[in-house]
Chain A
Amino acid sequence: GENVGQHPSTLSVQEGDSAVIKCTYSDSASNYFPWYKQELGKRPQLIIDIRSNVGEKKDQRIAVTLNKTAKHFSLHITETQPEDSAVYFCAPSISGGYNKLIFGAGTRLAVHP
């Protein structure tokens, strides 16, 4: 099965700084790489995803990069804002069917004003 590693477990930044979270995985068949954001007491929300035929994807202040050879992908948040404070989870998977998501341990991001 898939082994997912995520780090750092906590990340504290000043408002306006950048934040980077890394996710490693073991299953070479994985081809779908999403990042979820979970605020306290709420459901996880998909914020960005990437597929294995793409190396990088950007959506405003959020980007995801993929290194399939090394089996890791990263979430990049630029110009961080206090509302970015949350727990972020990666969940590499295999697309094309109802394949389960195995979540990383999560990264607690705190953005200080």
Chain B
Amino acid sequence: GAVVSQHPSRVICKSGTSVKIECRSLDFQATTMFWYRQFPKQSLMLMATSNEGSKATYEQGVEKDKFLINHASLTLSTLTVTSAHPEDSSFYICTGGQGAGDGYTFGSGTRLTVV
């Protein structure tokens, strides 16, 4: 099945700094990847759809200038949280696969803590 590798698994950063999270598809070409955010005891909220070679599509209410998505190759999508603040502390997770009907595979997630 499709394998998605996500790094780092945990990161602690100071308020005002930026953090980059990477998601790599190891055995398939990820034309599209999705980025989710999950606060404690809540559901997965879609932040944006990452498209290889084009601009990402952001969900309503998600600041595109704060959450920068880059999908320059078929195997790598990155999410950069810029000027991070404590309220950005969350579990960020990517997913991709061969299509919705085949069941997307999730990365292992990144727990971001902003202090």
Contact = CB atoms under 8 A, between A and B. Distances in A.
A93 interface: yes
A95 B43 contact: no
B43 A100 contact: no
Q: Quick one: which of B41, B99, B102 has the most chain A CB within 10 A?
A: B99
Given A101-B34, A102-B46, A104-B43, A42 B109 contact: yes
Contacts of A99: 99-100
Contact of B43 (A42, A89, A98): A89
A31 to B, nearest CB: 8
Main secondary structure of the interface of A (DSSP, over half): loop
A96 B99 contact: yes
Contacts of A31: 101
Given A102-B46, A103-B43, A95 B101 contact: yes
Chain B: interface size category: 20 to 34
Nearest to B4: A43
Contacts of A43: 93, 106-109
A113 interface: no
B23 to A, nearest CB: 12
A60 B106 CA distance: 24
Contacts of B43: 89, 103-106
Interface in A38-52: 41-46, 49, 51
Interface string A24-63: 0000000110100000011111100101000000000000
Given A44-B44, A101-B104, A102-B46, 20 more contacts: A31-B101, A32-B101, A41-B111, A42-B109, A43-B106, A43-B108, A45-B106, A46-B103, A89-B44, A93-B101, A95-B99, A95-B100, A96-B99, A100-B49, A100-B100, A101-B100, A103-B44, A103-B45, A105-B42, A106-B43
16 contacts: A32-B100, A41-B111, A42-B109, A43-B107, A43-B109, A44-B93, A51-B101, A94-B100, A96-B99, A98-B49, A99-B99, A101-B95, A101-B100, A102-B46, A103-B43, A106-B42
